[in-house]
Amino acid sequence: MNKKKSSFSGQLGFVLAAAGSAVGVGNLWRFPYLAAKDGGGLFLVIYLALVLTFGFTLLASDIAIGRRTKESAIGAYTQMSPKWKFLGVLTFLVPVLIMTYYAVIGGWVTKYAVVYLTGQTAAAAQDNYFTSFITSPVSPVLFALLFMGVTAFIVYNGVEGGIERVSRCMMPILLVLVVVIAGYSLTLHHVDESGQMRTGMDGLLYYITPHFEELTFSRFLQILLDAMSQLFFSLSVSMGIMITYGSYVKPEVNLNKAVNQIEIFDTGVALLAGAMIIPAVFVFSGTDGMSAGPSLMFISLPKVFAAMGKAGTLVGLLFFVTTIFATLTSCISVLESITANCMEIFHTGRKKTVLVLTVIYLAASAVIALGYSIFYIEVKLPNGSVGQLLDIMDYISNSVMMPFIALLSSILIGWIVKPSWIAAEMELNGETFRRKKLYNVMIRYIMPVIMFILFLQSSGLLNKIAG
């Protein structure tokens, strides 16, 4: 067997690298949107409860599997049970798909950092600025290739010398920037045409107050499912990434502490992102300004930055630098996971593997980046939305495959290799696995049921069944 030689230097290096993977656009553009849409404080409470139960179970499982088997998804699942190799292959395919489009998003973010660096704040606030950028056949491709190249360069430099080093530098800066921007956001105020004044503090209140108005059972269920799928995406679990990172953790590291710290980092940044984005949008556009995904980041926020006056250019620049850090450290983890699996399958060295993958993904990123121009298509997805190439890749990997993988892994761990297999790794150096009982119940009973429902819902099957 091909034993890993690379490893993180210790607990801190690992936690920052794993947090680097976890903190990404999901924290910055999806969490605040969901919190604003799903009842503010109500969503926050539900999300926190899920982090401590589901998040903990999923994260501890992936990391323990990685460290115990010392291999990436395919090898790890094969070691757990040779019959379940297919699950390893399925898990490996998630980053393979995500990698085709993540550098494209990274390219968009980089483009916007350049926009603010060169002071084009007013231009970026124009209605069709973003659309005309992504539909151009040249610029988005160049930015995607640049982002892919930088990611590849870091992964090429190895686990400690590349990934850990970059995460150690970027993650603390990211945290400081998010705090600073959130602090600034709270000091904002603006009087609209009707003479009504809105302040950042009003926006914060709107964000953290639980809204129970019109709360029906089906709406509650919707909030629950939104929070659950957000949690998945946010922690980078059930896609083999945390298995790969876990395989680089030294035996003396206390996994219990590491898991907690990663969860706190990821959730902390999500909460701060809400405090940074919701008050700013609220002050200048009221509650209607909150949109989802790319349109929040590339259409709504540029309008907010332009409305801030002179400070807007600097705040915009800081915001997009923060986003570059978040996106880059996530993109690295996706490429690393693919690289590690390929090194194990083909018994090749890191450098050669990364070079071959780079060629493949430079081409793939270019194709996806052209999905809004030359390769434009419209496909109706089973969940009702209409998507282009990027959305299709995202839909298959995140909405269909991830819940399905989590469902099968919980059956494998809960009923075949048994939870004690994970517990042994969590207690390796005589450490206490404090939430062991909770873990057992979650992995055997609760996860399979909830993941099945989540799979039905996010794949659109639930709507079909319900008619």
Interface ranges with ligand PHE (CB under 6 A): 21-22, 24-27, 98, 233-234, 236, 241, 330, 333-334
Question: In this complex, which beta carbon is closest to ligand PHE, that of residue 215 or of residue 360?
Answer: 360
Dist. CA 18–CA 246, nearest whole Å: 9
- Residue written as tokens 């399905």? 404
How far apart are CB 21 and ligand PHE at their closest, in Å?
Answer: 5
Question: In this complex, which beta carbon is closest to ligand PHE, that of residue 223 or of residue 334?
Answer: 334
Dist. CA 398–CA 94, nearest whole Å: 8
Question: In this complex, which beta carbon is closest to ligand PHE, that of residue 25 or of residue 255?
Answer: 25
How far apart are CB 328 and ligand PHE at their closest, in Å?
Answer: 11
Question: In this complex, which beta carbon is closest to ligand PHE, that of residue 27 or of residue 322?
Answer: 27
How far apart are CB 22 and ligand PHE at their closest, in Å?
Answer: 5
How far apart are CB 158 and ligand PHE at their closest, in Å?
Answer: 19
How far apart are CB 14 and ligand PHE at their closest, in Å?
Answer: 16
How far apart are CB 308 and ligand PHE at their closest, in Å?
Answer: 25
Question: In this complex, which beta carbon is closest to ligand PHE, that of residue 266 or of residue 284?
Answer: 266
Question: In this complex, which beta carbon is closest to ligand PHE, that of residue 21 or of residue 121?
Answer: 21
How far apart are CB 237 and ligand PHE at their closest, in Å?
Answer: 9
Question: In this complex, which beta carbon is closest to ligand PHE, that of residue 95 or of residue 312?
Answer: 95
For the record, the structure tokens of 181 come out as 């921007």
